[in-house]
């Protein structure tokens, strides 16, 4: 099922899978491709048969950045008018879990796309970085903000200013990625994890994501208040009744996502 030019899309076992598919240019992200990704994410967010979204890249890179050929001749006013960041911002509105699997390069906009995922699994040989500094620009889709939140100011500046590639080990050490996996097992283990999350009550999964996201902007007291309301809300769900009843009856729960 792929009506898309630059991505491949499939749905199986509750997992909506988007695979970046411009391997000849290391999945360099052009505008159409970003629009395709966001359109599918929006669709997956609505569909009942998709519980978790997985994002991967074909070939030897996750994505080596935004398409330099496409933007080399742009000027500031054209970029402002194109308002491309709108598409990137839509990515942050997705309610379902997004799990990224990075093999090879995740650079520039490709790293920013990876950082937009909720969880990141990476191959042991993955390389991350913001080489924008080497071509006279800087990250523009959340790189300076997200990397700093994860690594702290000094480490983030080191990578942003040097433009060097961060090895997977360092990414793991600073919580930029969740797990480092042997390259040949990356997809298998990512999908295994995704299937596990997909089997959980979908409303709990959703409200946990919502609450965790608030932790970055709210005070502790505000965040705890928000968490509590979500906790109460789950007592209106069929899955809470089923989950607790199944526990008492010593059987496996059958969740409906309602
Ligand atoms: N754009 C276009 N083509 C790219 C590319 C890219 N970012 N990265 C690689 N390619 C192409 C290469 O040109 C080459 O094409 P051919 O020559 O074969 O036609 C092909 O992919 C294979 O690449 P290489 O031959 O260079 O392969 P190597 O293994 O030697 O080197 C590399 C791999 C990843 C080290 C190298 O390709 C490289 O340095 N690539 C550029 C990395 C980079 O500078 N990335 C940052 C780009 S700036 C925005 C949001 C975000 C952004 C912008 C706007 N808005 C919302 C408005 C983000 C900006 C960026 O990401």
Position in ligand 1 atom list of the atom nearest CA 130:
46
Q: For 7, which DSSP code?
A: E
Domain positions in the chain: 7-199, 202-249
Position in ligand 1 atom list of the atom nearest CA 131:
44
CA distance 156 to 181: 24
- Give me the pLDDT at residue 258, please: 94
Element (H, E) at 241: helix 238-248
Which listed residue (112, 184, 222, 238) is catalytic? 112
Tokens of 54: 């997985």
Mean pLDDT score, 199-213: 98
- How remote is the CA of residue 213 from the centroid of ligand 1, in Å? 31
Within 6 A (CB) of ligand 1 lie 25-26, 28, 64-69, 79, 84-85, 88, 105, 107-109, 112, 131-132, 135, 140-141
Distances (CA, A) of 191 to 49, 54, 91: 16, 8, 21
- For domain 7-199, the CATH architecture is Alpha-Beta Complex (3.90)
Q: What is the pLDDT of residues 29-68, one digit of tens each?
A: 999 999 999 999 999 999 999 999 999 999 999 999 999 9
Element (H, E) at 246: helix 238-248
Residue 84 has pLDDT above 90, yes or no: no
Element (H, E) at 33: helix 31-46
- Give me the pLDDT at residue 2, please: 62
Mean pLDDT score, 169-173: 97
- How remote is the CA of residue 105 from the centroid of ligand 1, in Å? 10
- Give me the pLDDT at residue 79, please: 86
153-162 and 143-151 helices, crossing angle to 10°:
130
Q: For 134, which DSSP code?
A: G
- Give me the pLDDT at residue 32, please: 95
- Give me the pLDDT at residue 76, please: 92
Position in ligand 1 atom list of the atom nearest CA 67:
1
> Do 102 and 26 touch, CB atoms closer than 8 A?
no
- Give me the pLDDT at residue 59, please: 97
Longest dimension (CA), the chain: 66
Q: Give the pairing type, strands 166-167 and 127-129.
A: antiparallel
> What is the topology classification, in CATH, of domain 202-249?
Lyase 2-enoyl-coa Hydratase; Chain  A, domain 2 (1.10.12)
Catalytic residue check, 112: yes
Residue 1 has pLDDT above 70, yes or no: no
Element (H, E) at 184: none
- Give me the pLDDT at residue 233, please: 98
Q: What pTM was computed for the model?
A: 0.97
- Give me the pLDDT at residue 86, please: 84
């Amino acid at each position: 099922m792929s009506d898309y030019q630059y991505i491949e899309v499939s749905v199986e076992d509750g997992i909506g899978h988007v695979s970046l598919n411009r391997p000849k240019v290391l999945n360099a992200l052009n505008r159409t491709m970003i629009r395709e990704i966001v359109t599918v994410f929006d669709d997956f967010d609505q569909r009942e048969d998709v519980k978790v979204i997985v994002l991967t890249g074909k070939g030897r890179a996750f994505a080596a950045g935004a398409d330099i050929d496409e933007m080399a001749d742009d000027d500031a006013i054209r970029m402002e008018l194109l308002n491309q960041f709108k598409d990137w911002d839509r990515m942050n509105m997705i309610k379902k879990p997004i799990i990224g699997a990075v093999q090879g390069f995740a650079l520039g906009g490709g790293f920013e796309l990876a950082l937009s995922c909720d969880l990141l699994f990476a191959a042991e040989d993955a390389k991350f970085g913001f080489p924008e500094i080497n071509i006279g620009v800087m990250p523009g889709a959340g790189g300076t903000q997200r990397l700093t939140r994860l690594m702290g100011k000094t480490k983030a500046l080191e990578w942003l200013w040097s433009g060097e590639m961060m090895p997977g080990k360092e990414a793991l050490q600073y919580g930029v990625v969740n797990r480092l996996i042997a390259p040949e097992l990356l997809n298998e283990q990512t999908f295994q994890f995704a299937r596990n999350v997909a089997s959980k009550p979908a409303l709990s999964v959703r409200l946990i994501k919502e609450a965790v996201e608030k932790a970055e902007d709210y005070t502790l007291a505000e965040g705890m208040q928000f968490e509590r309301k979500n906790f109460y809300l789950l007592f209106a769900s069929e899955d809470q009744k089923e989950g607790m009843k199944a526990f008492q009856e010593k059987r496996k729960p059958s969740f409906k996502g309602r």
